[in-house]
Structure 1
């Protein structure tokens, strides 16, 4: 998520972006994704697939 390049410098915003990044990486790992860069691009392009995967993950 390139939080190192983010322009958010106030308060806890950088830490929150890092936490969000770790959550996303953890979800990808739980879904069995091995190539995180490809998974990010794929889920960004196919939002319906991302939401369906998240829905399936939450149901388990």
Structure 2
């Protein structure tokens, strides 16, 4: 579950980056921030689903 938390924090920081760069009208940075949100957001959702329904997350069995 720690991995999902880290992915979630990266996603939140990237969301803030999207809005900050939109205000600056820096479309190159907005593109990379949106891609970061998409990729890490997907990883966050899939990791949480795996931990809840797949029984994963600890791995030390």
TM-score bucket (shorter structure): 0.3 to 0.5
Report the TM-score when normalising by structure 1.
0.41
- Tell me which of the two structures has the higher relative contact order, counting C-alpha pairs closer than 8 angstroms and 6 or more residues apart: 2
Higher helix share: 2
* Higher Rg: 2
